[in-house]
A and B are shown apart, each in its own frame.
Chain A
Amino acid sequence: MEIPYTVTARADTGLWNAKIGIWLFLASEVMLFGGLFSGYVFLRLGAASTPDYDWPTELLNVPMGFVNTLILIGSSVTVILSWSALKLREYNKFKIWMSITLLCAVAFLGIKTVEYTEKFTGYGIFLNDGAEIKGKYATEQEGFVTIVPKYPEKAEAAGFTPAPATLAVHEGSYVIPVENVVRWSNFQPSYNTFYSIYFTLTGLHALHVIGGVVVLGYFLFFGGPMWRTNPEHLANRVEVGGLFWHFVDLVWIFLFPILYLM
């Protein structure tokens, strides 16, 4: 069965079908991310109006977020250049630009992985008196919770003491009796409100990047037969995939300032 209106426009809509389909899909995506963004704003406003509530944006790595922004913007340009190459019937240029797009996506995900690793290897300890001590290499042994604090003077003021030599801990560790601790964990989504919305938003965005890689990679590696039989159809498919990719870029354009800078 031949699918109609893959290249020519329908008379009633003035568009080929996949164009309508992708815009309807993007509309649903706007609602998905819009719901999460509004949730973020709600939580952020709540944190701002709660005295001493910790909203730890300073823990995010701004240079990494900045580089990732440039990478995604660059990939938005290369994907549109790959589409332009197809419209100009220059298949080899299409392959070059699309390859660069995919490399940008892999670089973005690589940097994101480094950032996530930083979070999962960082720890925080909540004490009975409401204090929160952050650092690395937290453990619990022999009735003590241990940590290498980011700010040792703050840990000492909160009641921590240098770890005794009998404990197998990292150099520079401090300890506090476990009965003084409410809870401790690494910076995982359940750590606090900020990390739950941070991982939800950036994780969902990363899933979209992976989805984009699959779709655009399919066009790059399996687009040859369609190019030989119906190049305009391939160009339209790449345009649709490109629209999705631009949307992924758009989401990050908002995520970067609200998560890393505000």
Chain B
Amino acid sequence: MAHSAEEIRSHVRFYIGVFVGLIILTILTVWIDQFHIGAEDSDVGNTIVGLAIATLKAGLVAAFFMHLTSEKPMIFRFLFATVAFVIAMFILMLLAHFDPIVPVFVQ
């Protein structure tokens, strides 16, 4: 993390650059949605591209605005556990979707 005045001033210029990058990626998200990507009867291509851009934007915010590029190891321990649990939650949800409990109707 920045400490000296000169370091902070140089970071401010960098933040502005990240801001411009985020705006460009937001415009790209909306622009690219006009086109159908992948199989004709499926939204999977557009979904993957849209989420990939969103993940890139989130990465920029977390890395630079939230200072994760220069954070202490303790924070990453918390984040590792958080990400692991979130992934586990999504896997549980996907398991429920692809292997659902089918209702049985007794005549």
- Given the complex of chains A and B, what is the CA–CA distance between A41 and B43 in angstroms? 13
Tell whether, in the assembled complex, residue B82 and residue A76 are in contact, meaning their CB atoms are under 8 Å apart.
no
What number of A residues sit within 8 Å (CB to CB) of B?
A: 45
Tell whether, in the assembled complex, residue A246 and residue B53 are in contact, meaning their CB atoms are under 8 Å apart.
no
A24 and chain B: residue at smallest CB distance = B78
Tell whether, in the assembled complex, residue A27 and residue B82 are in contact, meaning their CB atoms are under 8 Å apart.
yes
Tell whether, in the assembled complex, residue B19 and residue A74 are in contact, meaning their CB atoms are under 8 Å apart.
yes
Tell whether, in the assembled complex, residue A15 and residue B75 are in contact, meaning their CB atoms are under 8 Å apart.
yes
- Given the complex of chains A and B, what is the CA–CA distance between A249 and B61 in angstroms? 8
A residues 215-262 in Cβ contact with B at 8 Å? 242-243, 246-247, 249-250, 253-254, 256-258, 261-262
For B65, the chain A residues whose CB sits under 8 A away are 76-77, 80, 242, 246, 249
B residues 75-96 in Cβ contact with A at 8 Å? 75, 78-79, 81-83, 85-86, 89-90, 92-94, 96
B residues 30-45 in Cβ contact with A at 8 Å? 30, 33, 43
List the interface of chain B (C-beta within 8 A of A).
2, 5, 8-9, 11-12, 15-16, 18-19, 22-23, 26, 29-30, 33, 43, 46-47, 50-51, 53-54, 57-58, 61-62, 65-66, 72-75, 78-79, 81-83, 85-86, 89-90, 92-94, 96-97
